[in-house]
Amino acid sequence: MTGEVTGTPHFMPRQQLMDFRNAQPEVDVWAMAATLYYMLTLHYPRDFPRGKDPWQIILQTDALPIRQRDPFLPAKLAEVIDAALVDNPDIRFKSATAFRESLAAAL
């Protein structure tokens, strides 16, 4: 639908919200990293307090470092996941292959 944003806010980077029609593959890599973050911590990368506009949260906040959610995660793994969830000004990992290679090197 024209003018509508598609996606689940909890797994959406800024770029997808700002220009969803021209979203590049890296938004899917960001969503994959957000999914991994959730699988490891049972928390979303950003906090979405009740009553707050989720779109503003996406635009105005960064993902919380994963070790703030679980300090026992291996540091190298945490570094890769945190890097994958940077979306300001750009998403770091441009491909799933690059993300996978970084994950493999961290393990």
Q: Where are the domains of the chain?
A: 10-106
**Whole-number pLDDT of residue 1:** 44
Contact 87, 94 (CB under 8 A): no
Q: Is 18 within 8 Å of 55 (Cβ atoms)?
A: no
Report helix, strand or coil for 74. Answer: coil
29 Cβ partners below 8 Å, 6+ apart? 84, 91, 93, 94, 95, 96, 98, 99
Q: The pTM is what? A: 0.89
Q: If you write DSSP's letter for every residue of 6-58 in order, what string do you get?
A: -S-GGG--HHHHH-GGG--THHHHHHHHHHHHHHHHSS-SS---TTS-HHHHH
The pLDDT assigned to 5 comes to: 61
What class does CATH assign to 10-106? mainly alpha
What is residue 1's three-state secondary structure? coil
- For the stretch 21-60, pLDDT in tens is 677 888 999 999 999 999 999 999 999 999 999 999 999 9
Q: Pick 21 or 93 by higher pLDDT.
A: 93
